[in-house]
Structure 1
């Protein structure tokens, strides 16, 4: 009888403790499963700052994707799910998309090409036509691009304007011959001499 009492005295408390801890575990899971919090707005923040803020609310942070977006600085959060203001369960992750900043393209070489030829090229690579200036020169045929900014083979953000300097060809010296018929020869000679011409007549 003494042994039975000792056994029962040990067994019953152990069973009670096991049942107590089991009930506490189940109750805590049920409680946490039903507990919700309001999702904060983390757009525009860095991943580290958002993770720290969400950690205080017991919300895990998960990276869903990265994408180019010129509206947001590189490394900041573009969007989130659930959206700010919506409720989500404690322990459920808030998924975000991070900005890669503006997409960069390589500026092509435009020198010695015509304006007509580079217009479709701008659309193809993701750049736009900037200011176009013209100058007379004998180094390039008329209509050819002499210089560009940004230079060729340099990285630039998408939709960057490219300025160009275009040749108008060599400047030609032209002289419009005035009507000399019926005028006195000496008066004509003086007029032409003033303009660098040597008039001979006999």
Structure 2
């Protein structure tokens, strides 16, 4: 300590003029420390505080269990449609995750009602291409498409749908279709399916009121797999409805050559 400062502190002037203020300041500091470290924690019950866990993306049952474990109360205050979250799952919470709150505090949850329902459109009587477009526009999924003879609806028109028109459904539902092949027994023109994939060729054969015949694979290293190389009968011929079309498809050299009867 500096000698001059030491002499000043020990002097009578410091003793009478400054020492009382130093004592008062020390007392105030002591009171502040007592309040901060002892009185305030008792008043606010600091030891009863907990951290709010993250319960979003959980089912309401799982969220309630997790909050109960933290001594918190659950209140489901709102329900809304959500395209991402399944029905009954938490999409929002208040207080937010990580907040420090007192035990037994209410945590308010917003739950999902799932995807917003839509009315199933009527596809019967529409062309297959239009029906496929409508299914896609309504965020539905095209399921199985079958082709049957029908004396009322012309070729290529939807005659049945697996979900009744105007039914309330959720987006993402799968819809199966039955498409008309026209009147049974009539003559038809063989479609040209060379160069098309197997699935595409099968669809065109069905639309033409014909059936799939024998399918054979042959090694073609320069061609993609499952592309039609040859067909029999050839395209453009007029044949009886229901006749079969045999196909030869491409296959990689490492693939086994297979014949489908």
1:172 paired with 2:181, answer no
Report the Cα distance in structure 2 between the residues aligned to 1:35 and 1:131, rounded to whole angstroms.
Answer: 60
How far has the Cα of 1:48 moved from its partner? 10
Aligned length: 148
Q: Which has the higher contact order (CA 8 A, sep 6+)?
A: 1
Over 3 Å counting, the alpha-carbon distance change for 1:142 and 1:56 in structure 2 is closer
* Equivalent residue number for residue 147 of structure 2: 134
- Measured after TM superposition, the shift of residue 63 of structure 1 is 4.6
Shift of 1:83: 5.4
Q: Is the 8 A contact 2:120 2:164 kept in 1?
A: yes
- Structure of higher CA gyration radius: 1
For residue 129 of structure 2, give the secondary structure of its aligned residue in structure 1.
Answer: helix
Q: Which residue matches 1:36?
A: 49
> What secondary structure, in the 3-state scheme, does the structure 2 residue paired with 1:131 have?
strand
* Structure 1 pair 119–173 and aligned structure 2 pair: CA distance change class (3 A): closer
Question: Aligned to 2:154, what secondary structure does the other structure show?
Answer: coil
> Partner of 1:146 in structure 2?
159
Aligned counterparts of 1:140 and 1:65: Cα–Cα separation in 2? 48
Residues 143, 67 of structure 1: CA spacing in aligned structure 2 closer, same or farther, 3 A cutoff? same
Moved more, 117-126 or 159-168: 117-126
Q: CA deviation at 1:42?
A: 3.5
Q: For residue 89 of structure 1, what is the aligned residue in structure 2? A: 101
- After superposition, residues 1-202 of structure 1 pair within 5 angstroms as 27=40, 30-32=43-45, 36-43=49-56, 44-46=58-60, 50=64, 54=67, 57=70, 59-63=72-76, 65-69=78-82, 72-82=85-95, 84=97, 86-90=98-102, 93-170=106-183, 171-173=185-187
Shift of 1:142: 0.9
Unmatched runs of 5 consecutive residues or more in structure 1: 1-22, 175-202
Inter-partner Cα distance in structure 2 for 1:135 and 1:77: 46
SS at match of 1:117: helix
CA contact (8 A) 1:105 1:126 kept: no
1:134 Cα offset (Å): 1.2
Give the TM-score of the pair, scaled to structure 1. 0.56
Change (3 A) 1:29 1:123: farther
Q: In the superposition, relative to structure 1, how do residues 29 and 114 fare at CA in structure 2: closer, same or farther (>3 Å)?
A: farther
Pairwise CA distance, 1:168: 1.6
Q: Is the 8 A contact 2:41 2:47 kept in 1?
A: no
Deviation track 1:31-90 (CA, whole Å, cap 9, x = no partner) reads 24786312234442427972x764674545455643334665533323435555x24221
Query: How far off is 1:159 after superposition?
Result: 1.2
Determine the C-alpha separation between the residues in 1 that align with 2:62 and 2:147. Answer: 51
